[in-house]
Amino acid sequence: MKSTSPGNFPAALQARATRVSYEAGATIFRRGSPTHSVFFVEAGAVRLVRYGRAGEEVVLHHASPGEFIAEASLDSARYHCDAMAHEPSQLLQVPSAALKELLDTDRDFARQWVGILARQLRSVRGRVERLSLKSARDRVTHLLVSEGRGPKCELVLESTLKDLARNLGLTHEVLYRTLAAMEREGLIERGRGVLSLGPGHMI
């Protein structure tokens, strides 16, 4: 479990927030229940999930420390997905009403909030782009190129490869095989919890 200074947490919200903790697997809110709060992940990890008819989980979003969740539900009456703590997590809970009021009264905060939403939007659109690619290899490459840091597009893995597979819309078996093959061919390199582009890769 990683911890973060509340650096990304807007100062203006500090006064309205209360700190809450959840154990791994705990439910933070359920789809369909009335929206009452927006949350900020201080430590741990939270997942927004929906379920298909076959009961399979679809992870809409995996929120790491420094991210908001349910920020898109501010203006809707009910939550549109389930939120569950994926690890023991510490959150800041902000009542929707307080946040809305702040949006109306605090110009700087409103500006920040617009920026937060826009960033989320760009990030999710990136994921759509990735899921639109047909092959597993392309998705892995796209992930590294768009999310990786530095000249080698290094990407530090949050949680497990199994989770990454879900993020990429693949089964874990396919991801394991794909990574192994790409490593053999020098397309990528793997360290402990790190992926990066390898020498065999031309952009």
Partner DNA sequence: CGTCGCATTGATATCGCTCAAATCCGGTGG
Partner DNA sequence: CCACCGGATTTGAGCGATATCAATGCGACG
Q: Which residues bind DNA (CB under 7 A)?
A: 134-137, 160-162, 169-174, 176-180
Say if residues 156 and 143 touch (Cβ distance below 8 Å): no
Say if residues 99 and 37 touch (Cβ distance below 8 Å): no
Least Å distance between CB 26 and DNA?
16
- Which lies closer to DNA via its Cβ, residue 1 or residue 118? 1
Least Å distance between CB 1 and a second copy?
25
Least Å distance between CB 178 and DNA?
6
Count of residues in contact with a second copy, rule CB under 8 A:
43
Residue from 3, 5, 77, 122 that binds a second copy (CB under 8 A)? 122
Residue from 20, 26, 43, 133 that binds a second copy (CB under 8 A)? 133
- Which lies closer to a second copy via its Cβ, residue 43 or residue 103? 103
3-class DSSP string for 168-201: CCCCHHHHHHHHHHHHHCCCEEEECCEEEECCCC
Residue from 20, 64, 71, 183 that binds a second copy (CB under 8 A)? 71
C-alpha 68/C-alpha 66 separation (Å) is 7
**DSSP calls for 94-115:** EEHHHHHHHHHH-HHHHHHHHH
Categorise residue 197: left if φ over 0, alpha if ψ from -120 to 50, beta otherwise. beta
C-alpha 183/C-alpha 175 separation (Å) is 12
Beta-carbon neighbour count of residue 68 at 10 Å?
Answer: 24
Q: Is 164 in the site for a second copy (CB under 8 A)?
A: no
Q: Is 161 in the site for a second copy (CB under 8 A)?
A: no
C-alpha 42/C-alpha 44 separation (Å) is 7
C-alpha 197/C-alpha 126 separation (Å) is 19
Least Å distance between CB 50 and DNA?
17
Residue from 72, 179, 195, 197 that binds a second copy (CB under 8 A)? 72
Site residues (CB under 8 A) for a second copy? 48, 50, 52-53, 58-61, 71-76, 80-81, 103-104, 107, 110-111, 113-115, 117-122, 124-125, 127-129, 131-134, 138, 166, 169, 203
